[in-house]
Amino acid sequence: MLVLVIGALAYVYISFNYYSPDDPAVEVDQQKLAYFHDSWQECRKAFRNTAGELEAQVGRGEIFSVPVASKTDRDLTIDFFYIPAADTTEKLVVIISGTHGIEGYVGSAVQQMLMSEFFEPGMFENTGLLLVHGLNAWGFKHQRRFTENNVDLNRNFGTDRSLFDTKNDGFVALYDMLTPKGEVNMSSLGDRFFMVTAINQIARKGMPALLQAFAQGQYQYPEGIYFGGQDFEQQKSIMTDVLGRIAANYHTILNLDLHTGFGERSQLHLFPNPVDDPELKITMEAVFEGYPIDWGDSDNFYTVSGQFVEYIGAMMPEKMSIPMLMEFGTLNTSSTVGAVKSAHISIVENQGAHYGYKREKDSLKVRAGYYEMFYPPSEKWRTNAILVSRKMISDVWENFEEL
């Protein structure tokens, strides 16, 4: 019996610590890879330059930046490119990158591709476009998902402060597991056998409950992961001002927020919260016709408090606002190994940000896992991300215009 237990533990350890999902079977395209950059400064420069080229082609538009205040950095901005519809104020498409900092590297690449390859002057006769680059500029630049205040921006948007009274009892119950203290030591027994601990919790609570506790967002522990804040971050007022000026002129707004991390590797997923409004749900199904939508009420997903794309509709309730979070999968989180691996990476990265690392190799190991989860270095993965996003956004744009 002891031999069987040891063998099972060894299998769990190996499968977890050496887990690496397969890349898509696509041919690497260097032209597509040119949209990806290794620093926030390069991404911002490329966004501004490409926006300038498209503005010249269209013959109108507005490129502008809004500074982001920081205790440590004087050169942070959220960058915008707005092309007004020529003949109507009926429809507006908003495409956002970098809500989760490091995830902005892929979102920026997609925005650059759309401006270089997809958008044409004739597309803006009846539909306006607003590109938002690097919503969480600090996290983007410093390669974290969170703001300088450790706040998850996609848990921080709301119309009033009642958001910060939201309770996540599941997170409280798992606080010690999700918020370890002290320097990260990836050779410790706790980190080596994190999978065993997680499987025990899954057996007790079930995967859906564990996912909800982990990722819903929590407003009690500033040092914890998915901390939604105890006050609104400055991005709320910035976006309220920008949208109040631009989106207020339009009747129907499609909000696409580009993310990475959750879902099957190389697939572009659609992850809205559950929608109670029947008319809105029918409209969303029409806009994303042909693509499966995970409505946030299945066993493989979770609901989120304080999402940015939902805030746009909440601040302008008189409009038809269509929110959609688009997520490029990386670690096959529908599998137990992938889901637990993703959780472990998030936990130790947060621990390292607060308490540091015992050794340099611990920092490097965590950083490598963080990149694999949110900005995979695989050239096949990156090529595929550009290909599938162009196809989906092309179809979505056409469907939206036909509403």
Q: What is the pLDDT of residues 206-264, one digit of tens each?
A: 877 788 888 889 999 999 999 999 999 999 999 999 999 999 889 999 999 999 999 99
- Using alpha carbons only, give the angle 165, 231, 249 rounded to the nearest 5 degrees: 105
DSSP at 149: T
The predicted structure's pLDDT at residue 190: 87
Higher pLDDT, 67 or 16: 67
The predicted structure's pLDDT at residue 11: 38
240 alpha-carbon distance from chain centroid: 20
The predicted structure's pLDDT at residue 7: 39
Categorize the per-residue pLDDT at 300 as very low, low, confident or very high, splitting at 50, 70 and 90.
low
* Mean pLDDT, residues 282-288: 97
Least confident window among 4-18, 223-237, 307-321: 4-18
- Has residue 280 got a pLDDT over 50? yes
Altogether, the residues listed in the chain come to a count of 403
* Mean pLDDT, residues 21-33: 94
- Has residue 18 got a pLDDT over 70? no
* Mean pLDDT, residues 316-324: 96
pTM for the structure as a whole: 0.94
- Has residue 2 got a pLDDT over 60? no
The predicted structure's pLDDT at residue 297: 66
* Mean pLDDT, residues 112-139: 97
Half-sphere exposure of 227 (CA within 13 A, CB side): 21
SS (H, E, C) 111-143: HHHHHHHHCCHHHHCCEEEEEEECCCHHHHHHC
* Mean pLDDT, residues 105-124: 97
- Has residue 116 got a pLDDT over 50? yes
**In the chain, pLDDT over 70 holds for what percent of residues?**
94
Least confident window among 36-50, 251-265, 295-309: 295-309
Residue with tokens 């042909």: 290
The predicted structure's pLDDT at residue 334: 84
- Has residue 5 got a pLDDT over 60? no
- Has residue 125 got a pLDDT over 70? yes
Phi, psi angle pair for 384, to nearest 5°: -65, -40
- Has residue 28 got a pLDDT over 90? yes
- Using alpha carbons only, give the angle 227, 231, 236 rounded to the nearest 5 degrees: 95
Categorize the per-residue pLDDT at 299 as very low, low, confident or very high, splitting at 50, 70 and 90.
low
Q: What is the mean pLDDT of the chain?
A: 91
Least confident window among 10-24, 204-218, 250-264, 282-296: 10-24
Half-sphere exposure of 164 (CA within 13 A, CB side): 14
**Alpha-carbon gap, residue 291 to 363, rounded angstroms:** 39
pLDDT digits (tens, 9 = 90+) for 49-98: 999 999 999 999 999 999 999 999 999 999 999 999 998 889 999 999 99
**Alpha-carbon gap, residue 258 to 386, rounded angstroms:** 12
* Mean pLDDT, residues 141-169: 96
- Has residue 332 got a pLDDT over 60? yes
Categorize the per-residue pLDDT at 339 as very low, low, confident or very high, splitting at 50, 70 and 90.
confident
Least confident window among 11-20, 241-250, 384-393: 11-20
The predicted structure's pLDDT at residue 9: 35
Phi, psi angle pair for 131, to nearest 5°: -100, 130
The predicted structure's pLDDT at residue 13: 42
Closest of 135, 118, 109 to residue 396, by C-alpha: 118
